Structure 1
């Protein structure tokens, strides 16, 4: 065998991930709020980018001489406006009228803020530092995460002082806050129940039996009937096991901005890409003219920023177009759901939409990631429409089965609730053939207890 060197021509295809392509992919995956923040950052970094004002977009073209003279007047107005106390060309009355339409969101207080406000109003100076420390160690559910011994050791206080401070915290609103266990949390709420039965404190010692549906054991221990146990259980359900959850936590997302809006107009569904929060971008003409006037490093810098600005504008427009095509394809596939409800939600995969739009599955995945759709039936995540198919013909979705399962349980006899096997048989009669184990999984996922816990006496 002869060894040697040689030259060969070979054609291959490969994807080169340029920085611009990476940026386009990242922009496609951003939600409307994230894209707005990203654009604001780019406006700070790239001097060639500017926000276009639609009101002046139809101005007539001017010669360079007229443009330069106009710029001089604008700069004079700019500095004159600063002397008058504001830099905008609009009158204060116009600015006040605009400010009325700014989207303000009221921030709900956190649990700690709510408790500290009450604590400081009470002005209990003796227990104030310890009470503040206890409030700072409550979890999102309102439970104390440290023992009184640990608090006493860390704060150098006597255990009796910590217990006194804890009682102060537990006296605050909401009832049940500052508890160290579920039973203590419920006990703290009993004084607020009207006509609380005397058996209730002892009944709360049987929470595990209650969760497991062991009503006979509870009745025998308390010496009451099964109907009496049921009444006590109904009272317990009126209490709040997690009193802290009604308050916000730091970093909460308080509202959802839909990325796509679907409106029904004269029987047809219209797709609107909601990018109103994203500023319209353009190229600063002052820097653009510098390409014809400057040389060397200045020209190189302007060219680099001009290319980056043009690519950003193109990527944002491509995102809008891709999002529209994907949303339009999804709405066509799920039109029956939009008209008639959840039972008509069809199985759908990313590949189905990718084939219809003519893009790769990964593109559809990025276009729908972390995005919401506002429809006449409410606001849904995009992934809600990509329902998994079940059955031999893949004609059923998990959502439709769950809805039917919930309907069956709501219509059952509370004295003889359906077992999971019975529910599986009833679903099979309706053309939804799933196993008993799958029924149990769906039931647990919907936080519906087992038959023994649903039985009423």
Structure 2
């Protein structure tokens, strides 16, 4: 009975893990590139088994994914509604100015502090070099006063703003803490690379090697300071634990007030006539009069991979905790691969069906349901619904919401004519009527002559959507 109970607990644990993976995979499917990027950075920050391989900023690197089958079963029976909500949080600038106004400062100091505050980006970092903010015509605005004003702004909440980058932010936060370990201050003061990788044993080795090198430098005035550190594995672990309590993005809880531009998630590019003579490449679609290449916009999402140093250390140490981090990292990469792969495959199938649009542009969509693409990919319809959420396709006709390519038939009598096609033909008919005020019934009859059979009331509905008034008011 004891063994049976253990098996039940293990099975329950496995089921719970699978459910969590499914939920997370489905969330990835629905995320736009901005939210997915934030999720990747968060995972890389929390899990040492993950590494970002291409630098985009001090905390922004990119990784290549290891394909797995994780998340393939995650497309079934989980409906999620994502709601957009305006960012009503207080801006960082308003928050800082409110504190600044309560301080007793000279007009020159206040002016410089305000310039510094409005020079901060959404992370709380300088946009322009602070020295460029000085008014050369004002003799009171000196570099010394600027440094004083920078320190004044740094004393405001949140701690760690008005700095150059993340490293300086962490150092400022640490210096403002009363319990900062000396070794933590030593590392953060220009030796942030000691934390890569963030393993105490390796950090200790780097610190000892650095101190030994400094002792050999006869003219080094700080040699005594280094010799008093006496780093141990315990003190390194204490310093590392303290650094982890600091916030690398102290301004994250404030509204950025930024304008977010839409970026494509997928590109559909027409291939030249010379290239069409070659054999079809991977992820290409052919249609009457055209050949197109479909590719993901990889530049908008960081690539991620397993940390080779962590893998080597895990193999040597053989610790359960490290194996757990490695398992989570593999699952995370697998879910990303599932998301990207499903998005690409869905867009390839869409392109195969909507070749008339790709060739001739708007007004040439054919009827297409999300269920049709789901059947071709052998996934649930809700998976395609999530994939279509907040994703954009760039083609030669412009940037389009992925949902744009899904359109119903114009009517039950015209299953091969899409609503998009019918509305396009209706607009052409109204524009070419040469001043004739055709009624909805007459428009219905004219459309039928071109093979589009829709009722008068459907014509009226489409006309209203085109913002065109009735013949009586035209």
Asked if 1 retains the 8 angstrom alpha-carbon contact of 2:367 and 2:407, the reply is yes
Relative to 1, partners in 2 of residues 1:291 and 1:393: Cα closer, same or farther, differing over 3 Å?
same
Match of 1:264?
A: 270
CA distances 1:279-307 after superposition (whole Å, capped 9, x unpaired): 22222344434435557xxx343232221
Match of 1:377?
A: 397
The CA distance in 2 between the partners of 1:251 and 1:427, in whole Å, is 48
CA distances 1:418-454 after superposition (whole Å, capped 9, x unpaired): 2222212211222212122111111111111222221
Match of 1:282?
A: 305
2:466 maps to which of 446, 449, 454: 446
Give matches, 1:345-384, under 5 Å.
345-384=365-404
Match of 2:41?
A: 40
1:324 maps to which of 334, 337, 344: 344
TM-score, structure 2 as length reference: 0.49
The CA distance in 1 between the partners of 2:421 and 2:63, in whole Å, is 50
Relative to 1, partners in 2 of residues 1:361 and 1:345: Cα closer, same or farther, differing over 3 Å?
same
Match of 1:28?
A: 29
The question of 1:400 aligning with 2:421 is answered yes
Unpaired runs of at least 5, structure 2: 1-14, 56-60, 65-201, 215-221, 223-255, 273-289
CA RMSD of aligned residues (A): 3.6
Match of 1:167?
A: none
Larger radius of gyration: 1
The CA distance in 2 between the partners of 1:75 and 1:438, in whole Å, is 79
Asked if 1 retains the 8 angstrom alpha-carbon contact of 2:447 and 2:453, the reply is yes
Structure 1 residue 42, shift from structure 2 partner = 1.6
Moved more, 279-288 or 427-436: 279-288
TM-score, structure 1 as length reference: 0.50
Give matches, 1:1-400, under 5 Å.
18-53=19-54, 72=206, 254-266=260-272, 267-292=290-315, 294=317, 299-391=319-411, 392-400=413-421
Relative to 1, partners in 2 of residues 1:251 and 1:449: Cα closer, same or farther, differing over 3 Å?
farther
Relative to 1, partners in 2 of residues 1:345 and 1:313: Cα closer, same or farther, differing over 3 Å?
same
Asked if 2 retains the 8 angstrom alpha-carbon contact of 1:259 and 1:373, the reply is yes
Asked if 1 retains the 8 angstrom alpha-carbon contact of 2:366 and 2:421, the reply is no
Match of 2:159?
A: none
Unpaired runs of at least 5, structure 1: 1-14, 59-67, 84-249
Aligned length: 259
Asked if 1 retains the 8 angstrom alpha-carbon contact of 2:63 and 2:303, the reply is no
Higher RCO (CA 8 Å, separation ≥ 6 residues) = 2
Moved more, 338-347 or 307-316: 338-347
